[in-house]
Chain A
Amino acid sequence: MIKIKNYSWILIFLLSFAAYAQSSQFAQEEEFVSNFADKAIEILSDESISENDKTSRFTNVVMNAIDLNLISKFVLSKTWKNSTDEQKERYLIAFKDYFINSYANKLDQYSGEQVQIVGSEAAGKYVIVESNIVREGTDTLKINLKWRLINRDGDIKIIDLNIEGISLVIAQREEFQSFLANNDNDIEKLIDKIITVSN
């Protein structure tokens, strides 16, 4: 047992070194995520602004950082291509409201958590920046966040957030696909449902 323990120390040492060495690979992208987190946290922890103001400022920061059009198309998958321009437009507007509504009026739940960047790696044509959120009141209970970024000649946008192995975009996509499968693949019904839920 003592031998195993010694090995594990060496392993942990090597692993922490590897994580350290890796962390500067995509400096630009890492800085982007850490800037985004800083800006968002600054708004969230500002006690002096009203709830509405908070939502509006937060939305501004989020909308500048993510590629919502790309996300909207991705979660609709094949149905996007089979839709008319009029349907696409209605859907994009509905999805945007739905997206904002998912966090609006809940921003006061923030309680001082901090985002720590751990490292980054390439994933196909995307870059994934890994970070941790430390649960308040502890130093060891962590939530793992992976940001998927697309970098178009220096114009960086977030296209997915993966929380503890769960990709929010993939989950949203599976949800929409399931709804469509149970509703004759009718995008009109999906749009109506999205509008109902966001109100």
Chain B
Amino acid sequence: MKYRILIVLFLSSVLVLQGCASKEASVNYNNSETEIVSVNDPLEKVNRVVFQFNIIFDKLILRPIAVTYRAIVPEFVRNRVTYSLNNLGMPITAVNNVLQGELRKAGVSTSRFIINSTVGILGFFDPAASMGLVSENEDFGQTLSVWGVESGPYLVLPFLGPSTPRDFAGMLSTSLLDPMYQVGGGSAPDSLRTYRMGTGAVDFRSQNIEILDDLQNNSIDYYAAVRSFYSQGRESQASNNLEINTQDQENDIFDDFDIDESYVGPDIEIIYD
């Protein structure tokens, strides 16, 4: 236990230091002439190999489980599972709200957990939301980002999928910060954690069967598509917290391509089969 805390502290400090250093290094990266959107992926070759491995793992194990799960479990029950997973994540969210200095949000998250665990029958329902108590999930990776830690290069982890050094460190520390783990320490919280990880993966996968199938079949470059989805998703979660309007930054991307209106393009007839 103590050993694990040391690892987290070590990783966090390395990341904070590296975050300071990388601000200088990133200048060169943006000067590259061929790329307008700079994608931070120096390990692309290795990542692509791990990505291929994950696709096989998904094809053989995760996707079949998710398909079966959706086929045999009624929608009502599956929605209850999604709710209960959200509820089990609330204590972690509350801790991270505090670490991010968001005491009001921490109040909302805590109230949500208390209300939904009791009135909402072990979190299977969400009466707190109908009372106006709504909150976003927060993890330690997002807290590190609020603390100014740069995400670092894109990483694809075996089994776990897309990540970055910051998010991986956040994931490792999340279990340490989880109040349910700290308070209980025994077998009950452990099995809840296993439920959350295992069922969480199946719940997520079963909600995205068609989307991921389509993405895989219709991609020009599936690896790059997933990388973009992950990076954009994490960035938008982080910007929710930083209270900096990244809208401006995003508009730069949209504006930076100056629109060539001179070439209108052919009048193409719409053909489909």
Interface residues of A, Cβ cutoff 8 Å to B: 1, 4-5, 7-9, 11-13, 16, 52, 55-56, 59-60, 63, 69-70, 72-74, 77-78, 80-81, 85, 88-89, 92-93, 96-98, 100-102, 104, 106, 109, 123-126, 128, 135-141, 148, 160, 164-167, 170-171, 173-179, 181-182, 185, 190, 193-194, 197-198
CB-CB under 8 A from B34, the residues of chain A are 78, 181, 185
Residue of A nearest to B222 (CB): A175
Query: In the complex the two chains form, is A123's CB within 8 Å of B251's CB?
Result: yes
Given contacts A92-B266, A92-B268, A93-B266, A137 and B79 within 8 Å (CB-CB): yes
Query: In the complex the two chains form, is B75's CB within 8 Å of A125's CB?
Result: no
Given contacts A69-B265, A93-B268, A166-B233, A179 and B220 within 8 Å (CB-CB): yes
CB-CB under 8 A from B103, the residues of chain A are 4
Residue of A nearest to B128 (CB): A140
Query: In the complex the two chains form, is B218's CB within 8 Å of A165's CB?
Result: no
CB-CB under 8 A from B229, the residues of chain A are 166, 171
Within 8 A of A (CB), among B123-159: 126, 129-130, 132-134
For the side of the interface on B, what is the size category? 35 or more
- Give the complex CA separation of A170 and B235 in angstroms: 13
Query: A166 is contacted by which of B36, B39, B232, B266 (Cβ under 8 Å)?
Result: B232
- Give the complex CA separation of A55 and B272 in angstroms: 8
Query: In the complex the two chains form, is A178's CB within 8 Å of B224's CB?
Result: yes
CB-CB under 8 A from A125, the residues of chain B are 255
Query: In the complex the two chains form, is B265's CB within 8 Å of A171's CB?
Result: no
Query: In the complex the two chains form, is B247's CB within 8 Å of A123's CB?
Result: yes
CB-CB under 8 A from B110, the residues of chain A are 1, 4
Minimum C-beta distance from A83 to chain B (A):
10
Query: In the complex the two chains form, is A179's CB within 8 Å of B224's CB?
Result: yes
Minimum C-beta distance from A199 to chain B (A):
10
CB-CB under 8 A from B39, the residues of chain A are 174, 177-178
- Give the complex CA separation of A178 and B227 in angstroms: 10
Query: In the complex the two chains form, is B220's CB within 8 Å of A175's CB?
Result: yes
Minimum C-beta distance from B224 to chain A (A):
3
Given contacts A89-B265, A101-B218, A73 and B260 within 8 Å (CB-CB): yes
CB-CB under 8 A from A137, the residues of chain B are 75-76, 79
Given contacts A124-B254, A170-B228, A190-B220, A8 and B79 within 8 Å (CB-CB): no
Beyond the given A92-B265, A175-B225, A181-B34, could you list 16 further A-B residue pairs with CB under 8 A, ordered by the A residue number? A4-B104, A4-B107, A12-B133, A13-B132, A52-B273, A56-B272, A73-B259, A101-B218, A104-B272, A128-B247, A164-B236, A170-B250, A171-B225, A175-B224, A179-B221, A198-B218
Residue of A nearest to B234 (CB): A165
Looking at chain A's contact residues, is the secondary structure mostly helix, strand, loop, or mixed? helix
- Give the complex CA separation of A11 and B271 in angstroms: 52
CB-CB under 8 A from B272, the residues of chain A are 52, 55-56, 59, 100, 104
Q: 0/1 per residue, B171-207, Cβ < 8 Å to A?
A: 0000000000000000000000000000000000000
B237 on the A face (CB < 8 A): yes
Given contacts A93-B266, A123-B247, A166 and B236 within 8 Å (CB-CB): yes
Query: In the complex the two chains form, is A106's CB within 8 Å of B265's CB?
Result: no
Query: A8 is contacted by which of B107, B210, B225 (Cβ under 8 Å)?
Result: B107
Q: 0/1 per residue, B42-85, Cβ < 8 Å to A?
A: 00000000000000000000000000000000011001001100
CB-CB under 8 A from A126, the residues of chain B are 251, 254
Query: In the complex the two chains form, is A102's CB within 8 Å of B225's CB?
Result: no
Query: In the complex the two chains form, is B265's CB within 8 Å of A12's CB?
Result: no
Query: In the complex the two chains form, is A88's CB within 8 Å of B221's CB?
Result: no
Given contacts A73-B259, A89-B265, A100-B270, A165 and B236 within 8 Å (CB-CB): yes
Residue of B nearest to A159 (CB): B254
Query: In the complex the two chains form, is A170's CB within 8 Å of B37's CB?
Result: yes
Residue of B nearest to A122 (CB): B247
B35 on the A face (CB < 8 A): yes
Query: In the complex the two chains form, is A60's CB within 8 Å of B270's CB?
Result: yes
B88 on the A face (CB < 8 A): no
Q: 0/1 per residue, B240-273, Cβ < 8 Å to A?
A: 0000000110110111010110011110101111
- Give the complex CA separation of A175 and B223 in angstroms: 8
